[in-house]
Amino acid sequence: MGQEISATRFNADDMARFAQCLETETSLAADTFKLGGFAQQGRVAGFELEAWLLDRNFYPVPCNQSFLARMADPQVVAELSRFNIELNGEPQALTGHALSKLEWELADTWSRCLKTAHEDEATAIAIGTLPTLRESDLNLSTMTPSKRYVALNQQVLKARQGRPLTLDIAAPARGDHLRTTHADVMLEAATTSFQIHLQVPADQIVRHMNASMVLSAPLTALSANSPFLFGHRLWHETRIPLFEQSVDCGSDVQAHGQRVSFGDAYLGEDPTSYFTDNAAQFPVLLPICSDTPPEAFAHLRLHNGTVWRWNRLLIGFDDARQPHLRIEQRVMPAGPSVIDMIANAAFYYGVVHMLAANPTAPETSLPFATAKANFYRAAQDGLDAPLTWLDGRTRSATDILIDLLPMAREGLQQQGIDGRDIDRYLDVLAVRLRTRRNGAAWQLAHHAQYGDLFKLTADYLEHQRSGMPVHEWPI
């Protein structure tokens, strides 16, 4: 999704050529699905972790270019700002020790990132929104040098006719309200996430995608870790409204909808309608034409990469170059610790399997509007959020999550995940729920006691380095 491009300025001919290629590839995707051309094998897991580089004063430090040069790892790449990086995991067949392999890989890469950052007298931290971030840190001088990011900024501002972006996030229950305007898309750099991927046989992707949307609210509540932005105490997962407003294309929103959103409906029988809707609903932002054949889906994938639904459908390719369909679950923030993140992934992989395999599709019991409302309530109030679940009852997110833990266990067992892995990660979640202590809850409790976002960041960083799950972190 972060592929580099070759130009930053475009004309009408570029737009017309790209639109034609996009139409061709979108039609080809539909035909490929109808003819059974997408991969029908395997359940494969993967992840992307976005993180921050910090200086000794706990401010973001824009040094990712020197950091990446020394890191020299193709799995660790740049993000939008010079103080962000992204760690990618190798795909793992979802069976056996897949989860502990993901944990080992993430822990090893993270350890090497910390060592490399120290060479710049810096460090790295995985947290949804950085408590010490200043709005002044987010400007074009800290943008990673990339034509893709330059063009994205230009195109978003062009769609807005040059008007600045408006950020407006209210948290009435906490008595805080952030209103500000910003001149560029760098607000997006304030949102870092732990994105997990799930590839399943193409004929099962619709059930899994819809189950993923149903599960988004409990998953957001379970993992919330972003309560502070620019000194304001806002939503438990402030990253959600922040990202949605950071690439707001102005008048395009009224005409076409938000480019970052929960979406408008569950998927129907043909999953490639997702790509058809994206092509029809959202104007092209990056009309970079490729000479690759339509079967590479280069234009579809580039356009799809500029529409950031919280559950995103992707086309990828296996080693034999057969195309596959996979889900990118984007609702979870970065952090707090490596084991916390893999535990969150374990919960997702287990429960989404059970929901997708249920003879009664969960989306028939939970209207889309309810699933969407659940999602934003979970982002606002985390584990305390009142959610309406499949039985029609409204209960706290914590109570629903406790009820879902046995389902997560059964789902992992059915996929052949090693029993020791299941115990390791679900035991972490059981204690987290019993103590009601996720990352956001720890940050809010720490701030309530000390009222100091720098001490909060320092203590968070120390505890993260310990490797302990967040429910064991002292205040």
Residue range 51-66, pLDDT digits in tens: 999 999 999 999 999 9
Would you give the DSSP letter of residue 447? H
Residue 60 contacts by C-beta under 8 Å, 6 or more apart in sequence?
Answer: 52, 53, 54, 81, 83, 130, 132, 133, 137, 142
pLDDT of residue 253: 45
pLDDT of residue 174: 82
DSSP 3-state assignment of 380?
A: helix
Map tokens 């910003």 to a residue.
Answer: 182
The runs of H, that is alpha helices, within 38-164 are: 64-71, 98-118, 147-159
pLDDT of residue 126: 98
247, 198 contact by CB (below 8 A): no
**Confidence at 147, pLDDT banded by 50, 70, 90:** confident
pLDDT of residue 140: 96
- Phi-psi sector, 169: left (phi>0), alpha (psi -120 to 50), beta: beta
Q: Which amino acid is at 196?
A: I
Indicate the pTM of the whole model: 0.96
- Phi-psi sector, 75: left (phi>0), alpha (psi -120 to 50), beta: alpha
Domains in the chain: ranges and CATH: 12-472 (3.30.590.20)
Q: What CA–CA distance (Å, rounded) separates 60 from 372?
A: 33
Give me the chain's average pLDDT, please. Answer: 95
Give pLDDT tens digits for 19-62.
999 999 999 999 999 999 999 988 999 999 999 999 999 999 99
End-to-end CA distance of the chain: 38
Sign of torsion over alpha carbons 422, 216, 303, 187: negative
Give pLDDT tens digits for 315-349.
999 888 999 999 999 999 999 999 999 999 999 99
* Predicted confidence (pLDDT) at residue 457 exceeds the cutoff of 60: yes
Range with lowest mean pLDDT among 75-84, 245-254, 319-328: 245-254
* Predicted confidence (pLDDT) at residue 232 exceeds the cutoff of 60: yes
Q: What CA–CA distance (Å, rounded) separates 8 from 427?
A: 49
pLDDT of residue 175: 84
pLDDT of residue 441: 98
